Amino acid sequence: MALDLGDLHALFRQIVDCESVSRHEKELADAVAAALSGLAHLEVTRIGNSLVARTTLGRPERVLVAGHLDTVPVVDNLPSRLEHRPDGDYLVGRGTCDMKGGVAVALWLAARLTEPAKDVTWVFYEAEEIAAEYNGLGLVATQRPDLLEADLAILMEPTDGRVEGGCQGTMRFTLTTSGTAAHSARSWTGHNAIHDLGPILEILRDWQGHDPLVEVDGLTYHEGLNATMVSGGVAGNVIPDRAVVQINYRFAPDKSAAEAQAQMRRLFDGWPMEVLDLSDPARPGLDRPLARSFVDGVGTEPLPKYGWTDVARFFGLGIPALNFGPGDALCAHKADECCRVAALDECASALGGWLDGSGEAAR
């Protein structure tokens, strides 16, 4: 497949219609590699099914722009289709929002910005939607960390053309209560572990009553602490001797993952805790002049990023990172996933104009 780098909208549809569910990105990665290798102003490196293309113009600042090639599984939503709606044309299909619209913008700009005002590193990577061990950014960081060196990273997450700073951290853990099994007809001879979940649920309910707002670098993050799963019991006539509640804590980037875990252990002291998943957040870095310059270039007030994204990987490398791309995140992963086509033009204009210093993207 030869990608059409001359037409952003056609390129978008080509990328979407090339199925690339996680761990099956090779065909799309091959097409992106072939497109990039024909661009004399870029040095291209491939690691697995991830591509890194860099300008080497000796500019005083380097910006990294990244987008993942993979999608969640297809559910009868490929090939894509174009829908005409009152507010414009939409491309509907798997990956249109998350995040092949952003990938199309980045690839189209990579071909056009031959002499940007800032050196640019373009990263198109695999396996963002699955376990971290497969993540292409992580593999590049392990094998060639020098390729990711930059003063600012921009991740083409769907943000509807707004800058979203940093991201929340996340912790999933279980708390377990223990009892004594007995026949329910003689319940007083046992001890009901499910009933002992009450104090845990009260703590969670009380937590909802306070105002979990945290300001970080000028952005206000809303934290969340919620029970998401409960299990216990073996039969309808048996007093349960064990019950488990799973809890998800989404925390602001004012604290590290270790600090968040310590906070949860203090809050739920007295119950055995098993940590299932723990990921660091990322501060917005809006105090950095280059990040502030990009926000000013986009021309809208930045918002906090709710949820976890790969900006946290850049933050871990000491690189401030922002989320910015076409598409409404609420459409991501839906069966009717879609992206407004004109949103690609808007993002390309804002990002391209800022990178080349002209105020508008190359046409």
Question: If you write DSSP's letter for every residue of 230-250 in order, what string do you get?
Answer: EEE-SSTTEE-SEEEEEEEEE
The active-site residue, picked from 119, 128, 129, 337, is 128
The active-site residue, picked from 70, 160, 196, 217, is 70
The yes-or-no answer on residue 360 being catalytic is no
The yes-or-no answer on residue 128 being catalytic is yes
Amino acid at 355: L
| Residue in 133, 130, 113 with CA at minimum distance from that of residue 65 | 113
Q: How far apart are CA 109 and CA 5, in angstroms?
A: 9
The catalytic site residues sit at 70, 128
